[in-house]
């Protein structure tokens, strides 16, 4: 990547300060050309609602970043967006999601791309593990054997020709599994690239899980430790079979890593915006789910926000049965015994700063969304709890106040509406591996799901 004349560093969902004329002109071009959905690396494989990477707020007269973090390069400029709660906190969230330590504490990540490469390595490993669930990328190759014995299926016509020429050979054919060389080459080349970028961590065993090491070892056993991938091979499309189709996401990311331009945005028909972005809304949703799933073992915590099917719909035709307006809350908490829904949660990675269009710090459409969930998923003669979960901390006073006033009652129903915050400024970790903020959040969730009768008494003021 060439030396940039414009370099802007910011944090997600925050105003960009010190924007001069050159930076303003560059940001306006970037905002028109960059497309977040082509630059974002998805953790779950499902696309979320797109949001601008950066936008100009005319009311406040400043540039703001969206919910993405990462790095974007366009022409002679670079925009680097760091997580607003800090890289150590991001590493903790991702570590809980994947069950491994993600980011090391070495180096000054805020002034380098090391943190981004460590994150790319973990995303690459996650795709590799998902692809290799049923084995190495193999395809069926037909092989012909000539000799005194038959291997596979006897080829009668070819055998007759052999005997007619005086050679006493039997011709047989068999279809054997062979590791796909093209896919293996790309994966191994990406691995070597990542190993070079992460050499500050030492041996690759410090950032690859044993399972991933075994997969790489299997590929190396077939084609050696270093398989060069020429520019011609990179441009040539890879032919996938039903057996190797699962490797497509891993190969796509591998090719991006090889080019050292992780993704490209094809806005306006030109691929001139390069970079890699992580959708923090997706990270936050998966983090909240993993936190509750590993803590509330006495309940059934379901991650429905990324599922293919809808739990319920807003409308159903009484004449045809057709359904309209699918509802997909992020998290459902059910009772293990009755399977009844105890709580509906939506994780919102948004700031709760009070503004003229949202004086209480929360977006009105988020309130409508949760009320729609509660009205559709609730059962007759049974209360149901609903909550919006936001990042909380010293700079988020609104969510703290709304949480202290919870639960809120929804008119004409028995449902309770909760505002919930997870303190992201707490750095102390207890013996259970949770921070003080996480412990408080889990305890609050446990208490509001323990007894529907308790919630009823709170709502009616008994």
CB atoms within 10 A of CB 344: 24
Residue 44 and residue 123 in one domain? yes
Residue 99 and residue 164 in one domain? no
Band of the pLDDT at 317, cuts 50, 70, 90?
Answer: confident
Say if residues 272 and 75 touch (Cβ distance below 8 Å).
yes
In a domain, 209, yes or no: yes
In a domain, 289, yes or no: no
Band of the pLDDT at 308, cuts 50, 70, 90?
Answer: low
In a domain, 287, yes or no: no
In a domain, 81, yes or no: yes
Instruction: Choose the final residue of a domain: 224, 257, 281.
Output: 281
User: DSSP class of residue 316?
Assistant: E
The tens digit of pLDDT for each residue in 249-281 reads: 899 888 878 876 555 554 443 457 878 888 999
The whole domain housing 340 covers 296-460
Q: How many domains does the structure of the chain reveal? A: 3
397 or 25: whose pLDDT is higher?
25
Instruction: Find the mean pLDDT for residues 149-167.
Output: 84
Q: State how far the Cα of 90 lies from the Cα of 11, in Å rounded to an integer.
A: 12
Q: State how far the Cα of 306 lies from the Cα of 45, in Å rounded to an integer.
A: 9
Instruction: Find the mean pLDDT for residues 183-188.
Output: 92
Residue 113 and residue 85 in one domain? yes
What are residue 187's phi and psi, to 5 degrees? -65, -45
User: Can you read off the two tokens belonging to residue 411?
Assistant: 């008119």
Q: Which of 194, 198, 242 is nearest to 107 (CA)?
A: 198
Instruction: Choose the final residue of a domain: 225, 248, 281.
Output: 281
In what helix (H) or strand (E) does residue 381 lie, and over which residues does it extend?
Answer: none
Which of 53-62, 140-149, 360-369, 374-383 has the lowest average pLDDT?
374-383
In what helix (H) or strand (E) does residue 443 lie, and over which residues does it extend?
Answer: helix 436-450
In a domain, 286, yes or no: no
In a domain, 367, yes or no: yes
In a domain, 275, yes or no: yes
Residue 416 and residue 323 in one domain? yes
**Please, which residues bridge with residue 140 across strands?**
177
Residue 104 and residue 246 in one domain? yes
Q: Is 110 helix (H, G, I), strand (E, B) or coil?
A: helix
Instruction: Choose the final residue of a domain: 220, 254, 281.
Output: 281
357 or 3: whose pLDDT is higher?
357
Residue 248 and residue 385 in one domain? no
The answer for residues whose C-beta is within 8 angstroms of residue 364's C-beta and 6 or more apart is 358
Residue 26 and residue 142 in one domain? no
Q: Averaging pLDDT over each range in 99-108, 159-168, 361-370, which range is the top one?
A: 361-370
Pair type for strands 40-41 and 273-279: parallel
User: Can you read off the two tokens belonging to residue 256?
Assistant: 């991006």
Residue 206 and residue 84 in one domain? yes
Residue 267 and residue 221 in one domain? yes
Query: Which pLDDT score, from 0 to 100, does residue 461 have?
Result: 46
Residue 277 and residue 355 in one domain? no
CA pseudo-torsion sign 135, 137, 139, 144? negative
What are residue 201's phi and psi, to 5 degrees? -85, -10
Residue 30 and residue 53 in one domain? yes
What are residue 417's phi and psi, to 5 degrees? -110, 125
- C-alpha torsion angle, residues 288, 290, 291, 294 (rounded to 10): 150
The tens digit of pLDDT for each residue in 281-298 reads: 999 999 999 999 999 999
Q: Which of 92, 268, 255, 103 is nearest to 187 (CA)?
A: 255
Q: Which of 201, 34, 9, 190 is nearest to 106 (CA)?
A: 201
Instruction: Find the mean pLDDT for residues 340-344.
Output: 89
Strands of the 416-423 sheet, one edge to the other: 299-303, 331-335, 341-347, 385-392, 416-423, 408-409
Count, residues in the chain: 462
In a domain, 223, yes or no: yes
Whether the per-residue pLDDT at 74 is higher than 70: the answer is yes
Residue 161 and residue 305 in one domain? no
CB atoms within 10 A of CB 292: 21
The tens digit of pLDDT for each residue in 199-242 reads: 887 888 888 989 999 999 999 987 766 565 555 456 678 889 88
Query: Which pLDDT score, from 0 to 100, does residue 158 have?
Result: 87
Q: Which of 79, 122, 124 is nearest to 102 (CA)?
A: 122
Q: Which of 417, 363, 367, 388 is nearest to 284 (CA)?
A: 388
Q: What would the DSSP string read from start to end of 57-108?
A: ETTTTEEEE-SEEEEEEETTEEEEEE-TT-HHHHHHHHHHHHTS----S-S-
Q: State how far the Cα of 219 lies from the Cα of 367, in Å rounded to an integer.
A: 51
Q: Is 246 helix (H, G, I), strand (E, B) or coil?
A: helix
Q: State how far the Cα of 60 lies from the Cα of 57, in Å rounded to an integer.
A: 6
């Amino acid at each position: 990547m060439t030396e940039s004349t414009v370099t802007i560093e910011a944090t997600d969902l925050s105003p960009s300060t010190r924007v001069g004329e050159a930076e303003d002109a560059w940001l306006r071009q970037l905002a028109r050309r960059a497309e977040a959905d082509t630059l974002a690396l998805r953790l779950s494989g499902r696309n979320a609602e797109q949001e601008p990477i950066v936008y100009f707020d005319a009311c406040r007269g400043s540039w703001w970043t969206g919910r993405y973090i990462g790095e974007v390069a366009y022409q002679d400029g670079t925009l680097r967006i760091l997580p607003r709660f800090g890289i150590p906190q991001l590493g903790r969230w991702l570590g809980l999601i994947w069950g491994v330590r993600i980011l090391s504490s070495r180096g000054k990540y805020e002034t380098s791309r090391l943190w981004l490469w460590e994150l790319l390595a973990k995303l690459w490993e996650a795709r590799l593990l998902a692809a290799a669930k049923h084995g190495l990328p193999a395809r069926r190759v037909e092989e012909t054997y000539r000799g005194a014995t038959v291997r596979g299926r006897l080829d009668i016509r070819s055998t007759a020709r052999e005997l007619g020429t005086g050679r006493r050979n039997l011709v047989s054919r068999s279809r054997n599994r062979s590791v796909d060389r093209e896919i293996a080459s790309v994966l191994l080349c990406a691995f070597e690239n990542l190993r070079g970028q992460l050499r500050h961590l030492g041996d690759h065993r410090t950032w690859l899980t044993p399972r991933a090491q075994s997969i790489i070892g299997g590929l190396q056993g077939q084609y050696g430790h270093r398989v060069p991938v020429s520019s011609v091979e990179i441009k040539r499309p890879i032919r996938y079979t039903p057996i190797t189709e699962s490797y497509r996401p891993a190969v796509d990311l591998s090719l991006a890593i090889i080019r050292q331009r992780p993704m490209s945005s094809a806005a306006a028909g030109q691929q001139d915006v390069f970079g890699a972005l992580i959708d923090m809304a997706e990270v936050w949703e998966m983090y909240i789910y993993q936190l509750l799933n590993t803590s509330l073992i006495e309940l059934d915590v379901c991650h429905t926000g990324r599922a293919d099917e809808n739990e319920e719909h807003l409308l159903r035709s009484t004449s045809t049965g057709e359904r309209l307006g699918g509802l997909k809350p992020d998290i459902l908490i059910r009772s293990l015994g009755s399977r009844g829904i105890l709580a509906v949660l939506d994780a919102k990675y948004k700031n709760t700063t009070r503004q003229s269009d949202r004086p209480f710090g929360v977006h009105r459409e988020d309130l409508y969304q949760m009320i729609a969930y509660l009205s559709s998923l609730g059962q007759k003669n049974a209360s149901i709890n609903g909550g919006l979960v936001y990042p909380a901390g010293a700079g988020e006073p609104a969510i703290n106040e709304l949480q202290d006033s919870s639960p809120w009652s929804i008119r004409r129903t028995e449902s309770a509406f909760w505002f919930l915050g997870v303190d992201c400024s707490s750095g102390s970790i207890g013996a259970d591996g949770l921070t003080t903020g996480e412990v408080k959040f889990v305890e609050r969730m446990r208490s509001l799901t323990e007894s529907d009768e308790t919630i009823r008494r709170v709502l009616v003021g008994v």
